[in-house]
């Protein structure tokens, strides 16, 4: 635990050498998964804080759906992201990644999602949520590069393909009546409610 906390502290100060350390450290597999799930939970909490600050109803049902269930679904979709990235990179660059190393590096690379807690600041909530997601994509890109030993465009394509799969799954989970998706995707559920006529505005 002290080693993991120290690595998180260093990663928070943009010491990306941590990703090299954990990909080579088999004992960091479980901590990496916990960091990823914890960071995704922070994304869910941030979206829930925004929901509360916006004065929207169903506070605790949304907490259960978006934070609790949303973390589980988003975590599973994160594994899909890594699988897609693995397959695309293997096809484009004929690189067989070390699955354990990728899982460890990508797990710690999810730390920027904790920025989403600041979505409680309602005037800039959506921008903060998008920034957290963008930072996550960027650090996952570094994790893929460090794990594959490549820095070319094929790594970018692989990472973006994986993220696209994750984002599509999250969008499918965010509906007008079912907010089972974390962070900014709660806003999508409200937009669907408005455009589907489930929410009306009085003149």
Length of the chain: 203
Distance of CA 48 to the CA centre of its chain: 15
From the centroid of its chain, how far is CA 92?
24
Separation of alpha carbons 52 and 46, rounded Å: 10
- The verdict on pTM exceeding 0.95 is no
Are the C-beta atoms of residues 78 and 40 closer than 8 Å to each other?
Answer: yes
Q: What is the pLDDT of residues 41-68, one digit of tens each?
A: 999 999 888 888 877 767 888 899 888 9
Rounded to whole angstroms, the Cα distance separating 147 from 191 reads 38
- Report pLDDT digits (tens) over 153-176: 999 999 999 999 999 999 888 776
Q: How far is CA 181 from CA 73, 92, 112, 176, 186, in A?
A: 8, 31, 18, 12, 7
Q: Which residues contact 101 (CB under 8 A, 6 or more apart)?
A: 23, 24, 147
For the chain, what percent of residues have pLDDT higher than 70?
91
| Confidence check: pLDDT of 130 > 50 | yes
């Amino acid at each position: 635990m002290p080693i993991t906390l120290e690595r998180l502290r260093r990663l928070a100060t943009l010491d990306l050498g941590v990703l090299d350390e954990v990909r080579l450290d088999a004992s960091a597999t479980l901590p990496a998964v916990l960091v990823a799930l914890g960071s995704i939970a922070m994304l869910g909490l941030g979206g829930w804080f925004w929901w509360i600050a916006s004065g929207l109803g169903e506070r605790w049902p949304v907490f259960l759906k978006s934070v609790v269930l949303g973390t589980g679904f988003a975590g599973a979709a994160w594994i899909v992201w890594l699988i897609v990235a693995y397959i695309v990179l293997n096809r484009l660059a004929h690189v067989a990644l070390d699955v354990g190393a990728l899982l460890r590096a990508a797990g710690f690379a999810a730390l920027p999602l904790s920025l989403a807690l600041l979505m409680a600041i309602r005037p800039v909530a959506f921008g903060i949520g998008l920034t957290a997601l963008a930072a996550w994509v960027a650090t996952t890109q570094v994790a893929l590069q460090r794990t594959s030993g490549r820095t070319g465009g094929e790594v970018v394509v692989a990472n973006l393909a994986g993220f696209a799969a994750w984002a599509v799954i999250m969008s499918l989970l965010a509906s007008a009546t079912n907010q089972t998706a974390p962070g900014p995707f709660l806003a999508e559920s409200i937009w669907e409610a408005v455009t589907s006529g489930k929410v009306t505005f009085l003149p």
